[in-house]
Amino acid sequence: MSRMTPFSSPLLLGFDAMEKTLERLAKSGDSYPPYNIERLSGADGKAERLRITLAVAGFAETDLDVTTEENQLVVRGRQNDDTEREFLHRGIAARQFQRCFVLADGMRVIAAELKNGLLSIDLDRPESERLVRKINISVKD
């Protein structure tokens, strides 16, 4: 029996990668680090800007890595376990994480800033021009 998916319509062509991305997102259940996503009004009032803020207390700038890979924003954090210290109680673990955000076509990362344990990543989507292209029809005898 075949499975019906949102993209199984014959009118939706080339959305296989998006369907796989949605399936992967549905399976991911990790909630660390916590994050906010907010919409910011642009300077001109039109351009859409977004800010992703992740709570990364205890991570230094050198412990964090922000990259874009194809249509994904990937934030990685790596803390080294300090073996020189002797803990009587250890409630704060040196954690590693990877958080991925799927970006729509045309989304750009403007800047990333670490302040007071919060990593803020600003994104925007420039207004795209509406592209209409005439396709010539050839006639074969």
The per-residue pLDDT for 77 is 95
**CB atoms inside a 10 Å sphere around CB 75:** 21
Spatial distance between the Cα atoms of 35 and 33, rounded to a whole number of angstroms: 6
pTM of the model: 0.71
The per-residue pLDDT for 32 is 85
Residue by residue, pLDDT tens for the chain (141 residues) are: 556 666 677 677 777 776 776 666 666 667 789 999 999 876 666 667 899 999 999 899 999 999 998 888 999 999 877 778 888 888 877 789 999 998 988 889 999 999 999 999 999 987 777 788 888 998 987
All domains of the chain in start order, with CATH: 30-81+93-124 (2.60.40.790)
